[in-house]
Amino acid sequence: DEKKFSDKINIASTSGSSRISHSKEAIKASFLDSLFYGIGRVPALATPNDRYTALALTIRDRIFQQFILTTESISKQDARAVAYLSAEYLPGPHLANNLLNLEITAQTREAMEELGIELDDLIAIEEEPGLGNGGLGRLASCYLDSLATLGIPAIAYGIRYEFGIFDQVIKDGWQVELTDKWLHYGNPWEVVRPEIAYEVKFGGRTEHGADSNGKFQVTWVPGSEVKGTAYDTPILGYKGNGAVLRLWRAEAIESFDFAAFNLGDYYRAVEAKMLSENITKVLYPNDQAQGGKELRLKQQYFFVTCSLQDIIRLHLIQGRNLERLHEKFAIQLNDTHPAIAIAELMRLLVDVHQLDWAKAWHITQNCFAYTNHTLLPEALEKWSIPLFEKVLPRHLEIIYEINHRFLEEIRHQHSYNNAQIAGMSIIDESGERYIRMAHLATIGSHSVNGVSAMHSELLKKEVLHDFAGLWPDKFCNVTNGITPRRFLYLSNTPLAELISSYIGNGWITDLDQLRKLEPYADDVSFQNSWMEIKLNNKQHLAALLQKQTGIEIDPAMLFDIQAKRIHEYKRQHLKVLHILSVYLRLKKGELINFSPSAFIFAGKAAPGYIMAKLLIKLINSVADLVNQDTEVNDKMKVVFMPDFNVKNAQNLYPAADLSEQISMAGMEASGTGNMKFSLNGALTIGTLDGANVEIRQEVGEDNFFLFGLSVEQVQANKTAGYQPYDIYQQNQHLREVLDFIVSGALSQGDTQLFRPLYENLLYQDPFMLLADYQSYIDCQEQVHELWREPKEWARKSILNVARMGKFSSDRSIRDYSDLIWKVTPINKK
Ligand code: RUG
């Protein structure tokens, strides 16, 4: 009898029991229990992975202990909760972060030592879940960390991809993709919930008619069905509270294939199972251009319907009225990837739960809020109508109805003209017909936000201009943020400890407190400790890079790092032009004052993005030339760190002197790497793009290296008919650099290899590298001037960190909570 069972248990006293204490002895005992009884291993036969798994299970128990307490408080307080819908997450390795959040790293290290095990060896073997492409997925994970830390009731929904983002290796200078292995040795952090599973329909047709009571009813007769099963990973916040990451895995519905099975067609039955499981097989590896792929649409719908069915179950299970769903849940759409949720919630409310349209629409609009992450036209998701109709016929009808009602409203109540109406319609009818997912998300949400001040303004001016005119109050900005726990405390512990020894450790949960460092910016002894830690971090990175690439770099060099997805708009090739300009000038005996520099790159290119892959080849070709040239290689080195992921990133940020944020103005929605570098004391060289603008405002103009055209100047240049070839002709130095790329010197005499890149720059240059070239080169001279004054450099580095408070994801989550979700933290007793 369930009720009796739950009545008998006092959660608070049970989970506080000494059985699961945080002492060294208890950790040791739990570790051995997990090894023996959790995975059935004796120490003599235990592999490193067994030891890792046993420790992970030991820590997981302690996370659940906190987690159960949070869940109890949430259900008692009946607080409004956030449901975060994101097709991508990049949590990074869990073990070390969980130890930090539980504050048990020291005793766990000792416990392991007493058993003859090095904690760092176990931390090193963890394969991270690469369930995202880059910034968008990592942002979702930072937000989950902050939601948990702040104690805001939250559940994050996503997809349990069997294969996440590919592993990148470099062969002969080229990127080669290998399949991701994150589930290869199991995943001790997750718990499968076979009873939390929902049916998901695809395809087929709809039937319109009266039901047995004469009520008009639409029935969706699907072509196929699969089941989505929940896999939960508890996410612990700093010091205690928890949130859950619930990922859906697609499975076959067994009964569905009985017909085939009974006919003796065993293979067809198994094939159907295989096809079902395909839905969550692999993450699509493009970070910007998406769409057009049937499986991708299926993935999106699959995780959205499972999540919404789950939200409705959680709501009803407590005896609440469905008409008040929006009072209980704030549902955030992370980009348009989950935007089909608008139509799906309408379907669930109207077709399944029989609410009338107006009520359902009220609930839907008040539940959803939409975050836009890009202005790039090719990244704005749209689905061709025939494809969409094939996969989701009922949703197409619902979208038509939403659109019809919306267009009627703007035509009659707001007197919009035909051109405006066509521009705002959910259906793009300018050529082949498409569904514009950003329009659906905007119309179906009560709030739309961009991810930096500048991006939010551009969103209102450009992509969603007419909507912003219609509903000015719907639009707001929430500047992105990063978690200081993982990206300072965990990955740069020596710096974190130095900071705490001067200003206390309040900054860990209140990043604005870093301001207290300002008075020490001129303190020589503080500066020395600061720079000594940086040097140690650089030594550590240099050792890692040597292991990964064989390239040796001197830790005393200026570490100049660009780490992010490889994309033309991010302009890794502008950095290459700078490197080549230095190289050519050093060869001519110029630049006598040049401070030795290590130019470090990291980032993955989408497998189908030819130009981005050629860029990687170019970087590695430059590296080969420079690193082997004894005339210059004590002055400069070039390294491409393979396989940029959270784990590798945690080694890069703490070791950077200079952070490269050099995208063309107006292109980067926000960027978050810019924040991670700066929080670790790197100075930024950057354009006025995305969150760079706000970083510069915060750290002060004098502590930021600014170059390049502004958004307005970019626009003006375009309008005037930008001619990159003229710049090439006028700037002799630039001409030498560009011509060098196709001279064959980088490619064993092959003058064709890099020609596509060269010609693109000379004749199109869509991201205006040539226009920004001289300004960038001049700005780099300023960087080197400052580097020659170590005390000034240290001062600015300290001020950068001291002024980063705004960029904590805790601040972002508070903004979302106050402006959009109207949620408050729970009180934990
Ligand atoms: O490109 C953007 C970054 O500027 C931003 O910082 C990040 C998080 O908001 O999202 C990135 N992004 C945008 N990733 N995918 C998209 C388009 O779907």
- Alpha-carbon distance 746 to 637, whole Å? 15
- Alpha-carbon distance 820 to 592, whole Å? 55
Residue type, 566: I
If pLDDT is split at 50, 70 and 90, which confidence band does 19 have? low
Q: Tokens 């994101």 — which residue?
A: 86
Task: Write down how long the chain is.
Answer: 829
94, 534, 538, 564: the catalytic one is: 564
Q: What number does the ligand 1 atom closest to the CA of 139 have?
A: 8
565: annotated active-site residue: yes
Q: Distance from the CA of 479 to the center of ligand 1, in angstroms?
A: 12
- Alpha-carbon distance 464 to 473, whole Å? 13
Residue that wins the pLDDT comparison between 592 and 666: 666
Residue minimizing CA distance to atom 8 of ligand 1: 136
pLDDT tens readout for residues 39-66:
999 999 999 999 999 999 999 999 998 8
Q: Distance from the CA of 196 to the center of ligand 1, in angstroms?
A: 31
pLDDT tens readout for residues 157-189:
999 999 999 999 999 999 999 999 899 999 999
Does 71 score more than 90 pLDDT? Answer: no
Q: Distance from the CA of 374 to the center of ligand 1, in angstroms?
A: 6
94, 138, 395, 570: the catalytic one is: 570
Q: How many CA atoms lie within 13 A of 399 on its CB side?
A: 27
Residue type, 31: F
Q: Which of 65, 78, 50 is nearest to 15 (CA)?
A: 65
Total number of domains in the chain: 2
Q: Distance from the CA of 627 to the center of ligand 1, in angstroms?
A: 33
359: annotated active-site residue: no
Q: Verify that 165 and 313 share a domain, yes or no.
A: yes
Q: Distance from the CA of 812 to the center of ligand 1, in angstroms?
A: 15
Does 478 score more than 80 pLDDT? Answer: yes
Check residue 829 and give its pLDDT.
46
Mean pLDDT of 642-661: 98
160: annotated active-site residue: no
Q: What number does the ligand 1 atom closest to the CA of 455 have?
A: 4
Residue minimizing CA distance to atom 14 of ligand 1: 136
Which two structure tokens, joined as six digits, stand for 435? 């569904």
Q: Which value, to the nearest 10 degrees, does the dihedral of the CA atoms of residues 679, 681, 682, 684 take?
A: 60
Residue that wins the pLDDT comparison between 256 and 151: 151
- Asked whether residue 357 is domain-assigned, the answer is yes
Residue among 142, 670, 674 whose CB has most ligand 1 atoms within 8 A, to mutate: 670
Q: Verify that 397 and 439 share a domain, yes or no.
A: yes
In contact, 654 and 680? CB cutoff 8 Å? yes
First-last CA distance in the chain: 28
**DSSP 3-state of 209:** strand
With a pLDDT cut of 90, the percent of the chain lying above it is: 88
Q: Verify that 513 and 447 share a domain, yes or no.
A: no
Q: How many CA atoms lie within 13 A of 260 on its CB side?
A: 13
565, 567, 585, 806: the catalytic one is: 565
- Asked whether residue 656 is domain-assigned, the answer is yes
- Asked whether residue 69 is domain-assigned, the answer is no
Q: Distance from the CA of 135 to the center of ligand 1, in angstroms?
A: 5
Q: Verify that 712 and 765 share a domain, yes or no.
A: yes
Q: What number does the ligand 1 atom closest to the CA of 690 have?
A: 4
Does 9 score more than 60 pLDDT? Answer: yes
Apex 365 CA angle, 241 and 396, nearest 5: 115
Check residue 272 and give its pLDDT.
74
Q: Verify that 439 and 523 share a domain, yes or no.
A: no
- Asked whether residue 789 is domain-assigned, the answer is yes
Check residue 292 and give its pLDDT.
61
Q: Verify that 743 and 683 share a domain, yes or no.
A: yes
Q: Distance from the CA of 481 to the center of ligand 1, in angstroms?
A: 13
**DSSP 3-state of 643:** coil
Does 100 score more than 90 pLDDT? Answer: yes
Q: How many CA atoms lie within 13 A of 282 on its CB side?
A: 11
Does 1 score more than 80 pLDDT? Answer: no
The alpha carbon of residue 397 and the mean position of all alpha carbons in its chain are separated, in whole angstroms, by 33
CATH number at residue 386: 3.40.50.2000
Residue among 136, 482, 570, 695 whose CB has most ligand 1 atoms within 8 A, to mutate: 136
- Asked whether residue 630 is domain-assigned, the answer is yes
Check residue 59 and give its pLDDT.
97
28: annotated active-site residue: no
Which two structure tokens, joined as six digits, stand for 29? 């005992």
Instruction: Name the CA radius of gyration of the chain, rounded.
Output: 28
In contact, 655 and 538? CB cutoff 8 Å? yes
Mean pLDDT of 724-733: 98
Dihedral sign (CA 675, 677, 681, 687): negative
Mean pLDDT of 533-538: 99
Contacts of residue 156, defined as CB under 8 A and 6 or more positions apart, other chains included, come to: 83, 84, 86, 89, 140, 143, 144, 147, 235, 243, 244, 245, 246
* DSSP E strand boundaries for 623-773: 636-641, 658-661, 683-686, 705-706
Residue among 371, 373, 568 whose CB has most ligand 1 atoms within 8 A, to mutate: 373
Instruction: Please state, as a whole number, how many other Cβ atoms lie within 10 Å of the Cβ of residue 468.
Output: 20
Most confident stretch, 12-26, 100-114, 209-223: 100-114
What b/e readout covers 118-153, taking b as 16+ CB neighbours within 10 angstroms? ebeebbeebbbbbbbbbbbbbbbbbbbbbbbbbbbb
Burial class (CB in 10 A: 0-12, 13-18, 19+), 770: buried
Check residue 79 and give its pLDDT.
86
- Asked whether residue 827 is domain-assigned, the answer is no
- Alpha-carbon distance 821 to 816, whole Å? 6
Q: Tokens 């608070």 — which residue?
A: 12
Q: Verify that 475 and 527 share a domain, yes or no.
A: no
Q: Distance from the CA of 788 to the center of ligand 1, in angstroms?
A: 36
216, containing H or E segment: strand 216-221
- Asked whether residue 4 is domain-assigned, the answer is no
Does 792 score more than 50 pLDDT? Answer: yes
Least confident of 212-216, 495-499, 521-525: 212-216
Mean pLDDT of 565-577: 98
Q: Verify that 331 and 469 share a domain, yes or no.
A: yes
- Alpha-carbon distance 585 to 205, whole Å? 68
564: annotated active-site residue: yes
Backbone φ and ψ of 496, nearest 5°: -60, -45
Q: Distance from the CA of 706 to the center of ligand 1, in angstroms?
A: 22
Least confident of 274-278, 405-409, 772-776, 813-817: 274-278
Q: Which residues line ligand 1 (CB under 6 A)?
A: 134-136, 139, 287-288, 335, 373-374, 379, 451, 480, 668-672, 690
Q: What number does the ligand 1 atom closest to the CA of 669 have?
A: 4
Q: Verify that 654 and 730 share a domain, yes or no.
A: yes
- Asked whether residue 258 is domain-assigned, the answer is yes
Q: Verify that 359 and 283 share a domain, yes or no.
A: yes
Q: Verify that 460 and 518 share a domain, yes or no.
A: no
249, 676, 696, 811: the catalytic one is: 676
Dihedral sign (CA 382, 386, 390, 396): positive
Residue type, 302: F
DSSP-derived secondary structure for 134-199: SHHHHHHHHHHHHHHHHT--EEEEEE--SB-SPEEEEETTEEEEE---TTTT--TT-EEEEEEEEE
Instruction: Please state, as a whole number, how many other Cβ atoms lie within 10 Å of the Cβ of residue 701.
Output: 8
Residue among 88, 138, 287, 463 whose CB has most ligand 1 atoms within 8 A, to mutate: 287
Average pLDDT, the chain: 95
Domain range enclosing 85: 78-93+128-479+816-821
**DSSP 3-state of 559:** strand
Q: Verify that 378 and 272 share a domain, yes or no.
A: yes
676: annotated active-site residue: yes
